[in-house]
Chains A and B, each alone.
Chain A
Amino acid sequence: TQLLEQSPQFLSIQEGENLTVYCNSSSVFSSLQWYRQEPGEGPVLLVTVVTGGEVKKLKRLTFQFGDARKDSSLHITAAQPGDTGLYLCAGFGNKLVFGAGTILRVKS
């Protein structure tokens, strides 16, 4: 069974701070995705990373896929209250596997 572990589980920070969320596994994935989910809604895809070592930027969000394609990180620069939500990583192996998620709260 392929497992994805996300850390931290909870993160509460002040507006303007930087943060990093990690997604780790002992398994190799062909690609890895990050989703953001707001209360009362379904997850929405933010990005897909495919190549080991790949870095993608989406405004203030930077996503990196580990060289060995077993881990990934999400870095948010100068967090805003609108970044508040549940961040999920998901890896494609023989099927799509989700991590448990990181709950981010950005206080103004």
Chain B
Amino acid sequence: NAGVTQTPKFQVLKTGQSMTLQCAQDMNHNSMYWYRQDPGMGLRLIYYSASEGTTDKGEVPNGYNVSRLNKREFSLRLESAAPSQTSVYFCASSWIPGGNTIYFGEGSWLTVV
């Protein structure tokens, strides 16, 4: 089972460049999430989509945009990358919003130089 699939796995960007992180889940989950993980700070919610057609800001949304393309796919876009956005990004999904079992992808390592 694929579960939650993220691409790319690794990316290096120059300051000011843009890029999109792609995420897809094959579990027919309604809710999807984007988190970033930084040393000593745990996982912080960037944006989430409670259901297809809806998106909401999380704890740290500045500098990011998202698109819930369909029920399966939820993308995260950095319009003008900054060094502070160097992080590991995780996509996740759950059956219901804040559902008790959240499944995570393997992560995308982003470095902004």
- Chain A residues within 8 Å of B, Cβ to Cβ: 4, 9, 31, 33, 40-45, 48, 88, 90, 92, 95-96, 98-101
Residue in A41, A44, A45 whose CB lies within 8 Å of B107: A41
The digit string for B12-42, where 1 denotes a CB below 8 A from any CB of A, is 0000000000000000000000010000111
B102 and A45 within 8 A (CB): yes
Size of interface on B: residues with Cβ below 8 Å to A: 20
B98 and A95 within 8 A (CB): yes
Q: Give Cα A40 to B9, complex, Å.
A: 10
How many whole Å from A44's CB to the nearest CB in chain B? Answer: 7
Residue in A31, A96, A100 whose CB lies within 8 Å of B102: A96
Counted as pairs of residues, one from A and one from B, with CB atoms less than 8 Å apart, the total is 44
A44 and B42 within 8 A (CB): no
A92 and B106 within 8 A (CB): no
Closest to A99 in B: B42
A96 and B98 within 8 A (CB): yes
A-chain residues with CB within 8 Å of residue B101 when the two chains form the complex: 45, 48
Q: What are 25 sample pairs from A and B whose C-beta atoms fall under 8 A apart?
A: A4-B42, A9-B40, A31-B100, A40-B107, A41-B107, A42-B4, A42-B90, A42-B104, A42-B107, A43-B43, A43-B90, A45-B102, A45-B103, A48-B101, A88-B42, A90-B43, A92-B98, A92-B100, A95-B45, A95-B58, A96-B98, A96-B102, A98-B44, A100-B40, A100-B42
